[in-house]
Structure 1
């Protein structure tokens, strides 16, 4: 029996060692490539830009009043130069102004301006979302959201009226309105209306069973301009400069039916309107 050791064992061990070295090289290469890729990404330059913020994001005000926001503009990516603002989405009758109207940004710097939003007495009472943007040359900022809540302000006032002349079949008469403002500030009056609530016949018409109802009359509502600015005290449509052609009118129809029941009748009129504080 030959007891000499086999010569193939060292070659087997050597094969295992080479396999392990090759595996290590395969594992190391992706890690090195990943490190090189990360280094290249971190060297990319950030584009110049502007970031805008609004503070506070929401304000509440009464109709006819104004409020303010603070607008901040920040330079990013090394942007420098003048910046102006654009406000969009405000409700009807609302206005916006920025002071100062232009900001000069330095690289990485922040500057602030005051945004004043005013409402009209006719601005709808509601919550409205609006936006603020800044621009400098060809650079446009992000969109900063804001919200404006407008509250309705009502004022107590009185409305009365008088018919200019007597009514008869086929005759139309204007109604002169008087508006009483008991406060110490002017009010803006809108939505004036007149209605006939009752026709009061004479005792003779009632005894003779002669009819007369609201169906014998036609009402034409106020058609003048709104709002009517009414100072403290009593003001008529004439004193407010409203031509008679815009006043309410009452017309008695001329019908084939007997209308003797309307002779001497009294019309009870009801007036209404809306008044907002200026």
Structure 2
């Protein structure tokens, strides 16, 4: 039979010496294998790669609840944010958002949290919209940061609903138009609602030019092309309380009012004498 190598010197004598030496060699080989297994300091991960042992890694996880909120323009939505430390991380953690729509602001309570190793904390995120925040769905994210450690990116959604209110707009010119003359329009705004309205758009257009019967009989022309309109240039939104109001009553300077100008053209404009301009008005307003 084959003999395993012998380590050391044997002092056995007689016919059984070869067998005893083989057993000794087998025991030595097994001892070497056992030693190699016990000294291993790396472990093999599920993906076949090697990962260092130990639990000194630091990490953060963040989650939001609920994942989606729906509000009207001008209102606020709140989310509960949970932050947890993993590994040996501890200390002050700051929170931030990204991707919120224009016209919104993010507020935190508290503005930061302090975590112990393996601990967790909660904060409230308040997203405040404005009457000018675009209507629709917006996806945004929240992250937590502590020093050089950043958490996962938690996703959330904000749906802003457009809230339109009905109001009336009218105006009249304070004088007669003539070629080269420009007159302002102090728009009158009527709010039939019980709450104030945030007016976010106003526009004036010429609907029709009505000539006098004499101008029509004489075939004298006059049309909207003989006039130009400068639209409202004041600030938005305009907070209009219930009841009647006006641009002047709202404190808007005359320089921001719409204006109607009769153009001075080389064409015959006699048909515009005594003509009546029928103006149309439009606007958009949201409830406050």
Q: Post-superposition shift, 1:43?
A: 3.9
TM-score (norm 1): 0.84
Match of 2:55 among 45, 49, 62: 45
Alignment of 1:194-205 (within 5 A): 194-205=204-215
Which secondary structure does the structure 1 equivalent of 2:216 belong to?
A: helix
CA contact (8 A) 2:99 2:139 kept: yes
Alignment of 1:27-176 (within 5 A): 33=37, 36=40, 43-176=53-186
CA contact (8 A) 1:201 1:266 kept: yes
Q: Flag structure 2 segments of 5+ consecutive residues without an equivalent.
A: 5-22, 24-28, 45-50
1:4 maps to none
Q: Post-superposition shift, 1:66?
A: 0.3
More helix by share: 1
Hey, what's the Cα distance between the residues in 1 that align with 2:93 and 2:179? 71
RMSD between aligned alpha carbons? 2.7
Alignment of 1:234-249 (within 5 A): 234-249=244-259
Which secondary structure does the structure 2 equivalent of 1:205 belong to?
A: helix
**C-alpha distance after superposition, 1:154-185 (max 9, x if no partner):** 11111111112111122111112111111011
Match of 2:223 among 213, 216, 227: 213
Hey, what's the Cα distance between the residues in 2 that align with 1:39 and 1:168? 93
Hey, what's the Cα distance between the residues in 2 that align with 1:168 and 1:140? 69
CA contact (8 A) 1:190 1:228 kept: yes
User: Which stretch has the larger CA shift, 252-261 or 241-250?
Assistant: 252-261
- Distance verdict in 2 for CA 1:37–1:47, change over 3 Å: closer
Q: Flag structure 1 segments of 5+ consecutive residues without an equivalent.
A: 1-13
CA contact (8 A) 2:132 2:200 kept: no
